[in-house]
Amino acid sequence: MSDIAALSAVQASEAIAAGELDAAELAAHYHRAAREDELNAFTWVPEEPAAPGEGPIGGLPVAVKDLFCTEGIPSQSGSRILEGYRPPYTATAVRRLQEAGASVQAKTNQDEFAMGSSNENSAYGPVANPWDITRVPGGSSGGSAAAVASGAALWALGTDTGGSIRQPAALCGIVGLKPTYGSISRYGMIAFASSLDQAGPLTRDVRDAALCLRHMAGRDSADATSVGLPEPVELPTSESLEGIRLAVPQEFTGGEGMEPGVLEVFEASLERARELGATVESCSLPTAPYALSAYYVLAPAEASSNLARYDGVRYGMRVEEDELVPMYTHTRHDGFGPEVRRRILIGTYALSSGYYDAYYGRAQRVRTLVARELDEVFAQADFIVTPTSPNVAFELGAKTGDPLAMYLNDLFTVPFSLAGVPAISIPAGLSEGLPVGLQLAGPAFSENRVLEAAHALEKAIAFDASPARKVA
């Protein structure tokens, strides 16, 4: 088949099932694409393509974010402290895709321990955006997003703690889905913040995201927080928003802190939604502006606990010293990058005696209020819509010296992470020649409805992703 690069995952699966495409040919194409990648999107690519599996998605290669444990394959979470670590087991999300016939194409680059919004925090070097290689792809799943957008991967797995699937999807002009918290098992995901971490797909279109979610979601006895979805995931077909009520938070769309071009594309997307039959109304989320501050207390607090296990004793790198305490200290200092060390310190401080109630306790109360306010809006509207990111992809190095400016990239994504509800980013247009994402969020376990609405908007917007394609 001569046009392999143009096929979506759904189309490739259908072509294999119909005998029109050889699964080995597909695997070879994407293996070559990964080996020839010039964006630094991958941290590991096998010498030979993986053998195609059998099943409903048999023969489809999937690129996997570095923090998913994959048996016998380097799983380093973008960190020097786990350099070369090859786990003895495979994460449930990856295993379920393999059981459905998919194969691991390669491992993708990421911000260290998923802490970052630009993929510049990786111990294995920054990733470039295929739309403009002088700019960031977003983070922390930047390698996955860049690989899909450039055509080096058919589809990819990422994780989203505060926006780490949706934001890079927006900056790279692809689709990124964060499902309801607990719908996909976290077993085998190297943890950042356990009450927020969620796996999800990064894909070329909404139907591909649905297909990937269908085969990953479900209850897992190895993860006590997993709950699965109440109904099977269907491939969306809708091209209408008739009767759909969309709510636009006034706190996020006043233009403050948002690039004018992003606001312009967002407003054009709302007009497109109206043309499809939706009603668009303003809503209020009074606590939402405080969500980002709460997140940057809660997530580092959980990280300071989760990352305590990396001590140089059981696995990972070790700086050899004559005494135990210096070994701990030097191993952690040399093994963790600056941003990870910063967040460990923030989290430890927030949890320390005398500050717990002032910071961590207050942040938890904000989280509760955000979830409550979202529930109130969803009682009156079907979905909430916002831009995914307040800006388009910025230049590499532009914000590395200003952590607070970097954190503001999560402004629109964090509230939905705190509440654990599903949210998807789809490409909505261009500003300054760079992609702008539209975020659509719904109540918990409304994945099918979110996917249907996103599909209708995707069809109407008809975004052209071809300028980013590097692989023919």
Residue 369, in any domain of the structure: no
Tallying the residues shown for the chain, one arrives at: 472
Number of domains into which the chain is organized: 2
The answer on 303 and 239 residing in a single domain is no
Residue 263, in any domain of the structure: no
Give per-residue pLDDT as tens, 374-428. 999 999 999 999 999 999 999 999 999 999 999 999 999 999 999 999 999 999 9
Give per-residue pLDDT as tens, 218-236. 999 999 999 989 999 999 9
Question: What average pLDDT does the chain have?
Answer: 96
Residue 279, in any domain of the structure: no
The answer on 119 and 85 residing in a single domain is yes
Helix axes 206-216, 92-99, angle to 10 degrees: 100
Backbone angles phi, psi at 99, to 5 degrees: -65, -25
Picking from 332, 361, 390, the residue at the C-terminal end of a domain is 361
pLDDT at 472 over 80: no
The answer on 129 and 47 residing in a single domain is yes
The answer on 453 and 324 residing in a single domain is no
The answer on 463 and 352 residing in a single domain is no
Cis ω on the peptide bond leading into residue 284 (within 30° of 0)? no
Q: Is 164 a catalytic residue?
A: yes
Picking from 334, 361, 388, the residue at the C-terminal end of a domain is 361
Backbone angles phi, psi at 123, to 5 degrees: -70, -10
The answer on 447 and 394 residing in a single domain is yes
Residue 258, in any domain of the structure: no
Residue 366, in any domain of the structure: no
Sequence-distant (6+) residues with CB within 8 A of 422 are 177, 178, 179, 180, 183, 416, 441, 442, 444, 445, 446, 447, 450
Provide the residue range defining the domain that includes 297. 290-361
Q: How far is CA 155 from CA 8, 63, 141, 268, in A?
A: 8, 6, 13, 28
Residues 407 and 185 sit within 8 Å (Cβ to Cβ): no
380, burial (CB in 10 Å: exposed 0-12, middle 13-18, buried 19+): exposed
Q: Which of 79, 117, 118, 140 is catalytic?
A: 140
The answer on 223 and 86 residing in a single domain is yes
> In the prediction, which pLDDT does 1 show?
61
Helix axes 206-216, 9-17, angle to 10 degrees: 70
Q: Is 118 a catalytic residue?
A: no
Q: Please give the helix or strand (H or E) that residue 281 lies within, else none.
A: strand 279-283
Picking from 361, 390, 422, the residue at the C-terminal end of a domain is 361
The answer on 386 and 343 residing in a single domain is no
Name the pLDDT band for 253 (thresholds 50, 70, 90).
confident
User: Residues 327-343: what's their mean pLDDT?
Assistant: 94
Residue 368, in any domain of the structure: no
> In the prediction, which pLDDT does 255 show?
63
> In the prediction, which pLDDT does 317 show?
86
Residue 111, in any domain of the structure: yes
Q: How do 156-160 and 61-65 pair as beta strands? A: parallel
The answer on 217 and 120 residing in a single domain is yes
Quickly list H helices, 157-290: 166-172, 206-216, 260-275
The answer on 239 and 92 residing in a single domain is yes
Q: Which of 65, 107, 178, 399 is catalytic?
A: 65
The answer on 88 and 18 residing in a single domain is yes
Give per-residue pLDDT as tens, 280-310. 999 999 999 999 999 999 999 999 999 999 9
Nearest to 129, CA basis, from 171, 161, 87, 70: 171
CATH assignment of the domain containing 123:
3.90.1300.10
Residue 271, in any domain of the structure: no
Give the global pTM.
Answer: 0.96
Give per-residue pLDDT as tens, 269-286. 999 999 999 999 999 999
Q: Which of 77, 150, 164, 417 is catalytic?
A: 164
The answer on 26 and 140 residing in a single domain is yes
Q: How far is CA 268 from CA 29, 130, 251, 262, 275, in A?
A: 37, 25, 19, 10, 11
